Amino acid sequence: MDSTVSAAPRAVKIWFTGKLEPAFSKLDVHDGAGKTVDQGDSLVDPQDTTLMHVSLQPLTAGAYKVHWHAVSVDTHATDGTFTFTVK
């Protein structure tokens, strides 16, 4: 899912195939130096519990790494990462 975008996004949104347990699911974003660039407001959307999102600080050109940890309502845990680059 690595990609390049021309405009810096304001948020990262990830959709999952199953409903998530909000208390145990989290999303964070770091720059190439490992500095956190999200707003610390990661959450599972209350209207669509298959959607997790986090707001971002204003981003400059560079590479960013997204890490997510998700626990489904049936207690299955999964996590992963992907990167994106802002031109």
User: Which CATH number goes with the domain that contains 17?
Assistant: 2.60.40.1220
Dmax over Cα atoms in the chain, in whole Å? 39
Q: pLDDT 10s per residue in the chain (87 long)?
A: 589 999 999 999 999 999 999 999 999 999 999 999 999 999 999 999 999 999 999 999 999 999 999 999 999 999 999 999 999
d(CA 32, CA 17): 29
d(CA 79, CA 71): 9
Give the model's pLDDT for residue 73. Answer: 95
Alpha-carbon Rg for the chain, nearest whole angstrom, is 13
d(CA 35, CA 32): 7
Domain count of the chain? 1
- Containing domain of residue 68, as a range? 3-86
